[in-house]
Amino acid sequence: MRFAKTTQMLLLLQGLVLLEVVNAQTGFTSLVCGAPSDYISQSDGISWTSDTAFAPPISKTFSLPSNSSLRTLRSFPPDASRPSGRSCYSILVPFGLSLVRATFTYGNYDTLNKPPVFGVSIGATMFSTINFNTQDPWVEEMILNAAEVQTFCLISMDGIPVISLLEFRPLPPGAYNHASSSLGVALKKIYRIDCGSEAMKNTRYPDDNYDRIWNSDQYYLDASTSSTHSITHDLNTSAVADAAPMTVLQSNRFNFRNQSLSYSLPLAKPNGKYLMNTYFSELHGAVGPTFKLSVNEAVLMTVGGLPPLSVSEFTVTQAASWWWNISLLPVSGAPLINALEIYETVQLQHISNKKDARALNLIKLSFNAQNILLDWSLGSDPCFPVPWRGISCDTTGIVTSLDLSRSQLSGDVAGLFQDFTRLEYLNVSGNNLFGRIPDLKGRFQSLKVLNIANNQFSGPIPEKFDQPGLVLITLGNPCIQYATNPCPSVTDHKPQPVGISARRSGHHSRSLVVGVVSGTLAALLVIAAAGIICCHRYKLQRELMDASEEDIVSVKGAPSESGAFKGVLSRVQETASCLRVHVWRFTQGSFIRFTVKGPTHELGAKAHFSARRGGWTRTSAPWR
């Protein structure tokens, strides 16, 4: 709860709109995607809100033809700032058990006849893959315990993701107890069937207070082989935990020949784990029949002695592949059924470490940069199902690597990287960051690489960085102070004032002119020579500074402890000479520079290296 409140505050600080959509349906959130304004549905009275205030950045809206059942859609074209392809809605919803439903359509809106394929995730869990080649429109519905700030993401796979409707519906306490965050399980709806419906129509709000959509069973069987019965007065539903609507329960289907009653329902996923809720009621006012319930030829239970005018609910779980064949086998009397629901059980992905997620959100809010941070969707999970750009995580959701290089970041980093739990790699090179180097090694014993190259950092390197196994990259900063290489003071390089006092007397004037001319020529020669030397050095230095983020690697400690750089550093050790600074030219034309202090056979904690991954060849001249 505390983390959800923090995330809520972060979203508000960023300026994102977090709204509880207020309408006639208490707790309902109904977003129409791509619509310019709100409207009320004439068929069911549901108030629909334009998603303009909720939509992720970089999207386009389209109106659909008048003959379409949907009005509009929103698409999310590819963008360089969103390389993960993840576009997320962050919605403030009532905390607790919720139904989440999304409706997608392609309808060749772009006239390209190329239906896209994309993923759908809620929080950290990937729930489904939308493929319009098999179905259009496409409806996905999940039941899960929602967080206060619920993130719903579309993840590009092949083509441009689109969405038309997004709905959140609160469910009653105690319902669907198999969808439990404590159990780490959510339910993905496969079928919800009104058995005995006399018309081929769907039932939803206002007949179902929770706006579940119940499809007529006439879509799924040959109605001519069975019969239906319905009543108009209310039934006793005290034993119905999942609150099926009265309208659905007031009708049932039975086999008047006292033979088996069957539904054969295809499944999209092989070897899945499924859950089925079945609802039975004897509507004739007498004790009901007895029959067996089987799924895929396996008898799961015997149903009998149904109380008259009361509803009984039974839940079964079963693994299945491709088909869910339901049979009601008579024992005495005609088998009957009022309704059924089939869900795939989905294991929820372990979410990212909350402390790490909070730290990343604070970084985004602090810089509010374009480029890399635009891909970070506040409120969504930074690690799963697709990590944010520049982030790597372990399987438990702990951030181990953070690459913010060349991200147009500008400012002081003090306090921004202190809260990560087990960070191993941090790269902030190529930005405009300033201040002192943050003492991260004191907090992160596992820190292996810190790249702060090409920024505006200055000052001493924290003492705790002087440990074996740490790769520290500092090239291109104004002055980084090592213990053996303190920054020169400002006065060391401050130019001294120069003045010329000229008298009008002839002799002194001629002497002064000669002196000035001679001095000027000498100064010009010195400047020219210095310029040539400086240009040479500057050229080499720029080649180093313009290199990629992996070009310069300064290592403190024995090369064998430097992890990924072990192979390169061991070769440096073999060829380095005592107290020499060498330049090595790569086949790509770039340079590296390394210094060894002390005999090469006595390398220890005070040895300093610079190296780069990859092959290299030595030049004839050392760095000068």
DSSP line for 235-247: -B-TT-TT---HH
CA distance 316 to 311: 17
In a shared domain, residues 256 and 326: yes
Give the domain-ending residue among 305, 326, 347.
347
pLDDT score at 506: 38
User: Looking at the domain assignment, is residue 38 inside a domain?
Assistant: yes
Looking up residue 115, the CATH number of its domain turns out to be 2.60.120.430
Per-residue pLDDT at 247 exceeds 80: yes
Give the domain-ending residue among 323, 347, 371.
347
Split at pLDDT 50, 70, 90, the class of 369 is: low
Q: Distance between alpha carbon 531 and the CA centroid of its chain, in Å?
A: 51
Flag whether the pTM goes above 0.85.
no
pLDDT score at 378: 67
In a shared domain, residues 245 and 155: no
Averaged pLDDT score across all residues of the chain: 75
In a shared domain, residues 137 and 215: no
pLDDT score at 7: 46
The more confidently predicted of residues 530 and 238 is: 238
Split at pLDDT 50, 70, 90, the class of 484 is: low
**pLDDT per position as a tens digit, 311-331:** 999 999 988 888 999 999 999
Burial track 170-192 (b if 16+ CB lie within 10 A, e otherwise): bbeeebbebbeeeeebbbbbbbb
Per-residue pLDDT at 308 exceeds 70: yes
Other beta carbons within 10 Å of 474: 21
Closest to 248 (Cα-Cα) out of 293, 304, 201, 302: 201
Question: Considering its fold, how many domains does the chain have in total?
Answer: 3
CB 67 within 8 A of CB 53: no
User: Looking at the domain assignment, is residue 23 inside a domain?
Assistant: yes
User: Looking at the domain assignment, is residue 362 inside a domain?
Assistant: no
**pLDDT per position as a tens digit, 115-167:** 999 999 998 899 999 999 989 999 999 999 877 678 899 999 999 999 999 99
Give the domain-ending residue among 329, 347, 365.
347
Closest to 165 (Cα-Cα) out of 102, 232, 242, 122: 102
Kindly list the distances between the CA atom of residue 597 and the CA atoms of 356, 485, 592, 617, in Å, as whole numbers in the listed order: 39, 13, 17, 22
Domain interval for residue 612: 553-618
Per-residue pLDDT at 218 exceeds 60: yes
Element holding 170 (H helix, E strand): strand 165-170
Q: Stretch 580-585: mean pLDDT, rounded?
A: 36
Percent of the chain scored above 90 by pLDDT?
38
Q: Stretch 232-260: mean pLDDT, rounded?
A: 90
Element holding 601 (H helix, E strand): none
Other beta carbons within 10 Å of 285: 8
Percent of the chain scored above 70 by pLDDT?
70
Half-sphere exposure of 89 (CA within 13 A, CB side): 33
In a shared domain, residues 193 and 253: yes
In a shared domain, residues 191 and 141: no
302: phi then psi, degrees, rounded to nearest 5: -110, 130
User: Looking at the domain assignment, is residue 434 inside a domain?
Assistant: no
pLDDT score at 24: 53
Give me Rg for the CA atoms of the chain. Answer: 35
In a shared domain, residues 213 and 336: yes
In a shared domain, residues 163 and 18: yes
In a shared domain, residues 165 and 191: no
In a shared domain, residues 11 and 148: yes
In a shared domain, residues 130 and 194: no
User: Looking at the domain assignment, is residue 518 inside a domain?
Assistant: no
pLDDT score at 582: 36
CA distance 405 to 372: 9
Per-residue pLDDT at 379 exceeds 80: no
pLDDT score at 572: 36
Q: Name the least confident of 155-164, 272-281, 282-291.
A: 282-291
411: phi then psi, degrees, rounded to nearest 5: 145, -175
Please name the residues in contact with 608: beta carbons below 8 A apart, sequence gap of 6 or more. Answer: 554, 555, 556, 594, 595, 596, 597
* Residues shown for the chain: 624
Per-residue pLDDT at 560 exceeds 50: no
In a shared domain, residues 159 and 192: no
Q: Could you tell me the two tokens for 200?
A: 């081929």
Element holding 164 (H helix, E strand): none
**pLDDT per position as a tens digit, 166-190:** 999 999 988 998 887 677 899 999 9
pLDDT score at 325: 92
Per-residue pLDDT at 299 exceeds 70: yes
Strand partners, 262: 327
User: Looking at the domain assignment, is residue 12 inside a domain?
Assistant: yes
In a shared domain, residues 98 and 202: no
User: Looking at the domain assignment, is residue 330 inside a domain?
Assistant: yes
User: Looking at the domain assignment, is residue 368 inside a domain?
Assistant: no
**pLDDT per position as a tens digit, 611-622:** 333 333 333 333
Task: Give the N- to C-terminal CA distance of the chain in Å, as an integer.
Answer: 60
Other beta carbons within 10 Å of 277: 21
Q: Name the least confident of 55-64, 84-93, 499-508, 548-557.
A: 499-508
CA distance 285 to 93: 42
Q: Where are the alpha helices (DSSP H) in 424-577?
A: 506-545, 566-575
Q: Stretch 527-553: mean pLDDT, rounded?
A: 47
